[in-house]
Amino acid sequence: MRGGGVAAAVVAVAVGVLLAGCGTQVGTGTTVPTETATGPIPWVVGEPSFVTGARLGADHRTVTLDVQVADGPRPCVRDLKAVDTDAAYGAVPGTVHVQVTYSSPSGDRRSGCTKERGAQTRVTLPAPLGDNQLVVDDHTVFTADGAKPPALRLCGQLGCDPAPTGCTPGSYDQALLAVGAPEHTLRGDTDCRGTWMVMAYTWRTGPACSGETSLPACSSALGDRYFFRAETSGWVPIAEGAAGGCAVVQRKAPDFPTSMCKDLAPLSGKLHPHYPPPSASP
Q: Are residues 188 and 230 in the same domain?
A: yes
Q: Are residues 86 and 214 in the same domain?
A: no
Residues 19-62 pLDDT 10s: 433 444 444 333 344 444 578 999 999 999 999 999 999 999 99
* Rounded Cα gap, residues 228 and 195, in angstroms: 8
Q: Are residues 110 and 22 in the same domain?
A: yes
Whether 86 maps to a domain, the answer reads yes
Q: Are residues 133 and 228 in the same domain?
A: no
Q: Are residues 11 and 138 in the same domain?
A: yes
* Amino acid 276: pLDDT: 61
Rounded to the nearest integer, the mean pLDDT of the chain is: 84
Q: Which of 124, 154, 184 is the last residue of a domain?
A: 154
Share of the chain above pLDDT 70, in %: 79
Whether 267 maps to a domain, the answer reads no
Contact between residue 174 and residue 162 where contact means Cβ atoms under 8 Å apart: yes
CA atoms lying within 13 Å on the CB side of residue 48:
26
Whether 173 maps to a domain, the answer reads yes
Q: Are residues 215 and 130 in the same domain?
A: no
Q: Are residues 88 and 216 in the same domain?
A: no
State yes or no: pLDDT of 69 exceeds 80.
yes
* Amino acid 43: pLDDT: 97
Q: Which of 126, 154, 182 is the last residue of a domain?
A: 154
134-to-6, 88, 277 alpha-carbon distances in Å: 22, 16, 50
* Amino acid 210: pLDDT: 65
Interval 176-191 mean pLDDT? 90
Domain span including residue 85: 5-154
Q: What is the DSSP string of 49-117?
A: SEEEEEEE-TTSSEEEEEEEEEE-SS---EEEEEEE-HHHH---TTEEEEEEEEEESTTSGGG---EEE
* Amino acid 14: pLDDT: 37
* Amino acid 26: pLDDT: 44
Q: Are residues 115 and 20 in the same domain?
A: yes
Interval 174-184 mean pLDDT? 89
Q: Are residues 142 and 176 in the same domain?
A: no
Whether 272 maps to a domain, the answer reads no
- Dihedral sign for Cα atoms in the order 106, 111, 116, 117: negative
Q: Which of 125, 154, 183 is the last residue of a domain?
A: 154
Task: Give the pTM.
Answer: 0.60
State yes or no: pLDDT of 213 exceeds 70.
no
Residues 253-263 pLDDT 10s: 999 999 999 99
Whether 254 maps to a domain, the answer reads yes
Domains: count for the chain:
2
Q: Are residues 43 and 148 in the same domain?
A: yes
47 against 158, higher pLDDT: 47
Whether 205 maps to a domain, the answer reads yes
Whether 61 maps to a domain, the answer reads yes
Q: Are residues 183 and 221 in the same domain?
A: yes
Q: Are residues 19 and 129 in the same domain?
A: yes
* Rounded Cα gap, residues 31 and 45, in angstroms: 11
* Amino acid 132: pLDDT: 96
